[in-house]
Structure 1
Amino acid sequence: MFDGTRSIDDKAIAMTYAQLLKQTSGELERFGVPNPEQEAWWILASSTGRENSQLAAELALPVPAAVGKKVAQVVQERRGGKPLVYATGETEFYGLRLKVSPAVLIPRPETEVLAAEILKELDLRAGRNLPFSILDIGTGSGCIALALLSQLPNSFAVATDISKEALFVAAENAGALGLSPRIQFVLGNVLEPIKAEEKFDVIVSNPPYIDSSEMESLDDSVRRFEPNLAIESHRGGTWFHREITRLGAFRLRPEGILAFEVGNRQAKMVARFIKKTGFYAKPQIFYDLFGYERVVLVRKI
């Protein structure tokens, strides 16, 4: 229900998509959502299951009641501050449409850089058709592992997480994308659930990297809605990077790739302790779309 005397659901059959788009945009603007017109498009596209281009061709058509009800629900949740991705229940990552819920961290463009740099490194090695084995630690929605598998047709992944709810979301995404036969989901922390004899060509992780002392500085919507388990590192911002670096040295094949997403001002620190282990070549640091050092990637010697 929007403010005023008219409900989207009540007028759904009589209202066209163009009218609903205008009304949704106006309501979003009234309670301060940035880019209300663009967001209104996203909400309608998600609520109808259509791409923007399809929706644009149907603006003169009447809106089904179920769509009007869904749009109204999403707008109400946005009014309460819930991130758009959680309100619609889906997002796009590396060209894949993924289901998300408050059980998983919202996949972000910064993390696409992590997937892209791994693929570039594999291209340099031998190309994407070889059967690489991938371990994704702290998989969340499955976005990294699934993005890699979508580009590596003969590869297989193991994806771990400490959250059963997150693994359920990731498994749903794998099924929807037709990738379930090539990925195994395992409950557990870091490398604990992985058998000692298992070896991988790629170990990748976007672990919790916000130190407990920095949690209050995060955006309010992150602190209120995203899972603390996927964000906060109680033992220091780089503890998980250190642990995975140490244990990963014994689970990577020779010339295997270790790749991390890191927080602001963490990249050089992570690169230094990777190098000090003696197990790896010189780490490479890559920047995200906003110019921050975001990815550390290295090969095992």
Structure 2
Amino acid sequence: MKSSDEQIYKFMQKSNGYDLVVSNPPYISHDEYLTLDEDVRLWEDKLALVADENGTIFHSKIVYLTAKYLLRKNSPYTNAWKNKMPQLVIEIGGSHQISRIVEELKKYNFKSVDIWKDSAGKDRCIVANLHN
């Protein structure tokens, strides 16, 4: 485990749990990074853009942590499930990452998985609920 992982775990443990997790993790693969416009590569820090496992390594960690720390229906701390609001909104790099991330969501019993598109009509976010 890296020190950044330890910091995330410590942060997540400070609460009674969470109603909603929203994340914009790095999601560009190493190969995709080489094809980015030069102005993006020169402007953005590579660490903020690129992730291992075809750009999905952070997604796997976020899904795991969300499943672990998300408030459950019977929690005295939440009303979110009554409102049917999403419990996880996570940005993705495109449709080529959907099956890998959805597989991870199913592994942790997420339900009601939807894909939100951006203004250009590209698959941009995966939205999921742990319970109906």
Q: Please state which band the TM-score falls in when normalised by the shorter chain.
A: 0.7 to 0.9
Q: Which residue of 1 aligns with 2:13?
A: 196
Summarize the alignment of residues 232-251 of structure 1 with structure 2, pairs less than 5 Å apart.
Answer: 232-251=50-69
Q: Which residue of 2 aligns with 1:221?
A: 39
Give the Cα–Cα distance (whole angstroms) in 1 for the partners of residues 69 and 12 of structure 2: 9
Give a deviation string over 1:52-73, Cα, whole Å, max 9, x none: xxxxxxxxxxxxxxxxxxxxxx
Relative to the length of structure 2, the TM-score reads 0.76
Instruction: Tell me: CA distance 1:221–1:259, structure 2 relative to 1, closer, same or farther (3 Å).
Output: same
Give a deviation string over 1:201-223, Cα, whole Å, max 9, x none: 11111100111122111111111
Higher relative contact order (CA 8 A, sep 6+): 2
Instruction: Please give the secondary structure, in 2, of the residue aligned with 1:200.
Output: coil
Q: Which residue of 2 aligns with 1:231?
A: 49
Structure 2 unmatched ranges of 5 or more: 73-80
Contact 1:267/1:295, CA 8 A, preserved across alignment: no
Contact 1:208/1:230, CA 8 A, preserved across alignment: yes
Letter in 1 for 2:126: V
Structure 1 unmatched ranges of 5 or more: 1-187
How far off its partner does 1:231 sit?
0.1
Q: Which residue of 1 aligns with 2:99?
A: 268
Summarize the alignment of residues 1-301 of structure 1 with structure 2, pairs less than 5 Å apart.
Answer: 188-189=4-5, 191-196=8-13, 198=15, 199-254=17-72, 255=81, 257-264=87-94, 265-278=96-109, 280-301=110-131
How far off its partner does 1:247 sit?
1.6
Relative to the length of structure 1, the TM-score reads 0.35
Spell out structure 1 runs of 4+ moving beyond 3 A: none
Give the Cα–Cα distance (whole angstroms) in 2 for the partners of residues 234 and 274 of structure 1: 18
Letter in 2 for 1:194: F
Letter in 2 for 1:204: V
Instruction: Please give the secondary structure, in 2, of the residue aligned with 1:207.
Output: coil
Instruction: Please give the secondary structure, in 2, of the residue aligned with 1:296.
Output: strand
Give a deviation string over 1:100-142, Cα, whole Å, max 9, x none: xxxxxxxxxxxxxxxxxxxxxxxxxxxxxxxxxxxxxxxxxxx
Instruction: Please give the secondary structure, in 1, of the residue aligned with 2:125.
Output: strand
- Aligned pairs, number: 113
Letter in 2 for 1:196: Q
Give the Cα–Cα distance (whole angstroms) in 2 for the partners of residues 240 and 213 of structure 1: 17
Contact 1:257/1:297, CA 8 A, preserved across alignment: yes
Letter in 2 for 1:275: K
Task: Give the alignment's Cα RMSD to 1 decimal.
Answer: 1.9
Give the Cα–Cα distance (whole angstroms) in 1 for the partners of residues 98 and 44 of structure 2: 23
Letter in 2 for 1:289: S
Please identify the structure whose Cα radius of gyration is greater.
1
